[in-house]
């Protein structure tokens, strides 16, 4: 996750000369031409966009503006020295010919900056009188404060991120315990019980974190 790159090019320069090395570094690549990019960018949802600027004046700017209107991902453009894309936020230009090390460094730095910006932007999750600080793992319920264990924090973050949705046992175990096995869910039940003691007024009669019998749990948006 976070290493998906969309390559937009008509000539095959990036994919042909640089794509293999990016794949060897663990990046997942989707390669489209300019026309496909204008139609599929929203569907692909990449972490970063690599664009080889077309020769036509204004074409690179048009593509970058389309990407920015569709995605919040950083954009790196391989371009000629005379090109300027300063009008589009989050665009970095690399002058051709491009050395792979230089491009890899630009990719890694752009992704790092983007992740840092996202982390700063989403510092807390709030639902009703519950506030979860994503950096300190501190839960606030009205005037009460709780330090959560790592698993409690991961569980509550998952529920607060998906209010009103039924989360299956399998999905929760995969997200929190990193396992596909759902044959024994006793550990999950125990952690849910601990979490309810912190977020419910009456833990034995939960109104926030509800059990969906035989399926999983649902965090109610209204209690």
pLDDT of residue 223: 47
Average pLDDT over residues 97-109: 89
Angle in degrees, CA 51, 78, 106, rounded to 5: 95
pLDDT of residue 149: 92
As beta bridge partners, residue 166 has 218
* Domains contained in the chain, CATH given: 4-121 (3.40.50.2300), 124-219 (1.10.10.10)
* Cα–Cα distance, 160 to 101 (Å, whole number): 40
Place of tokens 């009205």: 142
pLDDT of residue 66: 86
Average pLDDT over residues 20-35: 88
For residues 82 and 165, the model is more confident at 165
* Cα–Cα distance, 49 to 8 (Å, whole number): 7
Per-residue pLDDT band at 44 (split at 50, 70, 90): confident
The burial class, CB within 10 Å (0-12 / 13-18 / 19+), for 119 is exposed
* Cα–Cα distance, 102 to 98 (Å, whole number): 7
Residue 118: pLDDT over 70: no
Residue 86: pLDDT over 80: no
pLDDT of residue 166: 95
pLDDT, tens digit (0-9, with 9 covering 90-100), for 47-56: 999 998 888 8
pTM score of the predicted model: 0.53
The two structure tokens encoding residue 20: 């293999």
Which of 94-98, 107-111, 148-152, 201-205 is predicted with the least confidence, judged by mean pLDDT? 94-98
């Amino acid at each position: 996750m976070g290493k998906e790159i969309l390559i937009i090019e008509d000539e095959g320069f990036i994919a042909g000369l640089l794509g293999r090395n990016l794949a060897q570094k663990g990046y997942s690549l989707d390669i489209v031409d300019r026309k496909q990019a204008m139609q599929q960018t929203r569907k692909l949802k990449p972490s970063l966009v690599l664009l080889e600027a077309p020769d036509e004046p204004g074409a690179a700017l048009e593509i970058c503006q389309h990407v920015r209107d569709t995605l919040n991902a950083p954009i790196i453009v391989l371009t000629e020295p005379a090109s300027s894309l300063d009008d589009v936020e989050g665009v970095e230009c690399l002058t051709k010919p491009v050395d792979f090390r230089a491009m890899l460094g630009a990719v890694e730095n752009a992704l790092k900056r983007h992740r840092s910006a996202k982390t700063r932007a989403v510092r807390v999750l709030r639902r009703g009188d519950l506030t979860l600080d994503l950096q300190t793992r501190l839960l606030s319920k009205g005037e009460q404060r709780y330090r959560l264990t790592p698993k409690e924090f991961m569980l509550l973050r998952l529920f607060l991120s998906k209010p009103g949705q039924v989360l299956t046992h399998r999905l929760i175990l995969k997200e929190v315990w990193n396992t596909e096995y759902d044959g024994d869910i006793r550990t999950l039940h125990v952690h849910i019980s601990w979490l309810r003691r912190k977020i419910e007024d009456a833990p034995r009669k939960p109104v926030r974190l509800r059990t969906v019998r035989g399926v999983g749990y649902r965090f109610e948006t209204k209690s």
